[in-house]
Amino acid sequence: MIPYQTLDILGDPTPWVLVKPSSSKDWAVLWLQGWGSTIESNFEIVDQIAQKSGTAFAMIDYAGFGKHSVPLPETTREQQHLEVVAAYDELKRLGYKNIIACGHSFGSYMSALLASKRELAGIILRAPAIYADSEFTMKQKDRDDATYQAFKKTVQPDSPLAALYAVQNYHGPVYVFEYGADEIIPRNIPQSYFANAAQGNYLYIPNAPHSPKMTTDPQQYNSYIETAITSILALLQQNQTKL
């Protein structure tokens, strides 16, 4: 059973989950899933990584998705970002010392923006998405997909975008994943994030599509991601111990 709770955000009760494999509060991961993904669809892999790494993991249902009560057409990225910040703040309130933001696609965009608002022990950007700043406060129902599809191809390391600036001004470790068969995120976007990272690490996964749901063997894909994330967590924790 998924242990749903609710973040106490004024006017925006947001479903969230905290997986606690131990009583340790030295580390926590804020797992920020992609557009359309939910706590329910990510819980199995998150629980597996939490148990294997011994690290607490938190997730939310963004406004518009999962058990969140706000209809998707009425949501803004600004609202979803405030929910991410609230989840981080709740982890800090609970006593977690070092928090890592681990995003996929839309969740990577949220992770990058979080680095400009809160102190992070590391950022993991898997197949990261990025969006025009002009759309940050725009409701989903007012967006035009054709405009976004054209925008994605124009992103470069020096593009004046808040998410790239956030990574540029973040001085901790950044892990960027590019998926070789990604049909949604063109490679110029992960490369642009990486180019702005002060401590950048680039992982290229050949033949990997944007989502495990697009493969004939999702478990094999999830196993690879599980191994990669677990290894990164161990490395971050080891490096922090040496400081």
Report the chain's mean pLDDT, rounded to a whole number. Answer: 94
pLDDT (average), residues 53-80: 97
At residue 243, the pLDDT reads 41
At residue 224, the pLDDT reads 82
- Domain positions in the chain: 4-242
Cross-sheet strand order for the sheet of 27-32: 4-7, 14-19, 56-60, 27-32, 98-104, 122-126, 173-179, 199-205
| CATH code that applies to domain 4-242 | 3.40.50.1820
pLDDT in tens, 158-169: 999 999 999 999
In this prediction, residue 68 has a pLDDT band, given cuts at 50, 70 and 90, of very high
Residue 124 has pLDDT above 70, yes or no: yes
What would the two tokens of residue 181 be?
A: 């068969």
pLDDT (average), residues 3-17: 95
Query: What pTM was estimated for this model as a whole?
Result: 0.95
Per-position DSSP letters for the chain, written without gaps between them: ---EEEE--TT--EEEEEE-SSS--SEEEEEE--TT--HHHHHHHHHHHHHHHT-EEEEE--TTSTT--S-GGG--HHHHHHHHHHHHHHHHHTT--EEEEEEETHHHHHHHHHTTTS--SEEEEES-----GGGTTS-GGG--HHHHHHHHTT--TT---HHHHHHHT--SEEEEEEETT-SSS-THHHHHHHHT-TEEEEEEETT--S-GGGSS-HHHHHHHHHHHHHHHHHHHHHHHHH-
